[in-house]
Structure formats: C-alpha cells, structure tokens
Amino acid sequence: MSIDVEDWFHVENLRRAVPRETWPTLQLRVERSMDRMLHVMDDLGVRSTCFVLGSVAERAPQLVRRIAEAGHEIASHGYDHEMIHESDEATFRADVTQSKTLLEDISGQEVRGYRAPSFSITDWALPILRDVGFQYDSSHFPTTIGSSRYGKPAALRHTSPIATNDGLTEVGLSCLHLGAQALPWAGGGYFRLIPYPAFKLGVRRILQSGKPYVFYIHPWELDAGQPRVNGLKRSERFRHYLNIERTEARFAALLRDFRWTTIGNLVARHGETFESRQRTSGDRRGDGLAETVSPRARADMPAGTPV
C-alpha cells in the first residue's frame, strides 16, 4: 500500500490551469484528507508507505510526524513535483537530496524509498538516487496504455515486478496483463474509473499470477470539497474529478478486502530471499521473487503480502 502525499494543486493534470508560481499561496488541504486516511488505516491495522512531497513536509511538518508516529513508512516524492524528464541531473540531485534530508529531519526515520512525480523516471536519474542514499525506487509503471508522462527507462525493461540493479531495488506499479496489453491496475484515476468489484477481481488475478500487488493513491482523491478549477480541457476535468466523492469508501473496501504491508518491508523480504537463494543454490541469474513461492500458494495470498 502506497500513498503519494501531495495536494490538489500539485497534480500534473491541472498544470495549465494552476501555475507553479501560485502554489505557495494556495490553500493546503492535504492534512484533513491524509488524517482521514490515517484513521481508516489505523482502524483496519494497515501500514503503508507514504511518498511525501518535500514542499508539503515543509508547510505541514506536523503531518509528517503524525504519519511516522502512526507506524507508516516515510519515503520521498521529491521536493517540488517537477517532472524528471524536464529537469537536469544537477537540479534533480539537489531536489532529491533536499527532500530526503528534510523528511529524515522531521520524521526521525531513515528515508529509503523514492517515487518520481507522475512516474517520470529516467535512466540517468537511477544512479543519482543510489548515490544520494536511496535503497529503492518505485517509479516504474510498465503499462502499455498509460500516460505519455510515465518514464520508460531501458534499465527497467524487465518482467519482474521487483528487481535489484547496481544496488538500487526497483518496485514496479502493478498492471493487469490481458494478451499483449498491460493495463494500469495500481490505483489513481483507474481505481476511480473501474467499478470496484471489477477492480478487486483484477487484483486477485494479479496475485494468482504469482506477483506481489502494489497500489497507490493520493489524499486529494478523497477530497470532494477541493476547489473546482476553471480552464481545464474536458478530458482533464474528467480525469481529475471522476468519482472523487466515492473514493474514500472504495479505499476502505480495498483495505478490508486484502492484507497490506509497506514497500520497505517488501523490499527487505526480497533481499532476504535473493541472498538465501545465492547461499543455497549459487544462482545469481534472476531476481528470485516469483520462484520462491509456488504459484498455487501465491494464489491464496492477499494483496500486499510480503513473500
């Protein structure tokens, strides 16, 4: 379970209508939505990974502390939600270093994970993440029909949902494979668009294929009272506001219907499994996750179960 902790005006879909220079003056609504999510997760005993935007942490440090005190993993979403492919290496390095340091200072946790804004990861960004001290990245969304903003690094063109390369572990977002198509099935707008019973069946199908399931959501997707922005294209308005008043109930249902863990825990178990395989078989060829548990056993495992 992962949450990208950003506010309504950070969304790339609203970029034309909500200029970046206006962000510091806009109402911060993320606290009330995130607090509702924390309450629901606490009631159901769920722990998540929260990829917090540095600029949100700077304006609402008390929220970061509440998330950490509730037992959730703090990870980085960068500092100012800038698309990586529109940046350069020096700017990106400064951005992720600033966000990591800020989040660690506020939360008292080591920040091990990173997720790129709008999944805009690039090949040149991966070594920088490793150099800065991140242990894992969760920015790869290997869908065949998703947004053109999603990065498609050559280094991440593998079939495993979790893999370690050059000391950095990549945890991909989940897709539902139908023939040659990989449908985005990890959350966001697709979670609001697809009827929940169908979405739930898709999650079960992914688990039955022997893969872990990785979900993401934003606090603003639970905020039906957020400002309605003028000047949007019809497609932008549809994507941003669709079924937003129903998201909280769907989120609670998803939490109840499956068992969840943090991405950090999943990465740790992956590392233990890989090291165990190396010791027992000397096999250094693969990433070792899918082969460690039989497909039949995996079919009975709920979403988010670390294996």
Domains in the chain: ranges and CATH: 2-299 (3.20.20.370)
Q: Is the pLDDT at 148 greater than 70, yes or no?
A: no
Residue 272's alpha-carbon distances to 2, 110, 114, 141, 265, in angstroms, are: 22, 19, 21, 24, 11
pTM here? 0.87
Calculate the average pLDDT of the chain: 88
Average pLDDT over residues 154-172: 83
The alpha carbons of the chain give a radius of gyration, in whole angstroms, of 18
Q: Is the pLDDT at 46 greater than 60, yes or no?
A: yes
pLDDT > 70: percent of the chain: 86
Q: Is the pLDDT at 284 greater than 90, yes or no?
A: no
pLDDT digits (tens, 9 = 90+) for 177-223: 998 898 999 999 999 999 999 999 999 999 999 999 999 999 999 99
